[in-house]
Amino acid sequence: MAKKMFFKIIGLELLLIFFYVLNGAYVSIQQPSSPFLQFALLVPLALGLFMYIAVKRKWHQYFFLTFNKSNILFVSPLIFVLCIILIGTKGLNTESFSNLIVMLIMQLFIVAFIEETVFRGIMLRMLLAKGPFTAIWVSSFLFSVTHALQLLGGQSLEDTVIQIIYALLVGLVLTLLILDGQSIIITILFHGLNNFFNFMGNEESSLLTAYLIILVLFIYMLLLWKRVKKKIVIH
């Protein structure tokens, strides 16, 4: 049973990496300016995941729960992080309204949907059989590993380390939110908007902004960890 789960998780991770490497290679060679074409090769994976969940009727199993508006205050630290990003990138580049709309759609319904469904949906559900804390750490680690592919992008060591730490903290926070009973829709919205603000900002945010976001996420993660741990002990 454990070996079967291991191969399923590794298979999912490799499938995701394959599509991202393929898409990255296409973008590097063709250098498309269209937001759609920049992520076009990820569309088949998003459609495949959607069809699988829809046909199998596994929406609830993979945490696609009804969004409760009363949870907005509880997830306010995520809203705060998005505000920091927006300020750090000096707002959105509004030169092309159509590009803004297309990028928003691609980030929410393709990139964020894929990654959240894989890491906070399918993988997390499988890993829960090994215990909640194992599920939290393994799914978050694999999430950060996927983003560590940026190591191939020629950026500085400091930028790379910050990106990996940021991805790990985001993974931990979003996974803890799911285990707290929140809908995966919340994590998709945050993930998509996070990417959207960074891609469509007027300038790249500073390292100071990155450190501030990491601090906020770390404090929020500790609070969520305590809350989830308490729920697990009670149950």
Chain segment 70-86, per-residue pLDDT in tens: 778 899 999 999 999 99
Of 79, 78, 63, 82, the residue nearest 172 (C-alpha)? 78
CA distance 232 to 235: 5
End-to-end CA distance of the chain: 25
What type of residue sits at position 187? T
What pLDDT, on the 0 to 100 scale, is given for residue 123? 96
What pLDDT, on the 0 to 100 scale, is given for residue 161? 82
Strand, coil or helix: what is 90? coil
What pLDDT, on the 0 to 100 scale, is given for residue 225? 96
Full residue range of the structural domain in which residue 7 is found: 2-234
What pLDDT, on the 0 to 100 scale, is given for residue 186? 96
**Residues in the chain, pLDDT under 70:** 1, 149-157, 233-235
Tell me the pTM: 0.94
Q: Please report which helix (H) or strand (E) contains residue 75, including its range.
A: none
| Total structural domains within the chain | 1
Angle at CA 143, nearest 5°, toward 109 and 86? 55
Count of CB atoms within 10 A of residue 130's CB? 12
Torsion on CA atoms 94, 23, 36, 207, rounded to nearest 10? -20
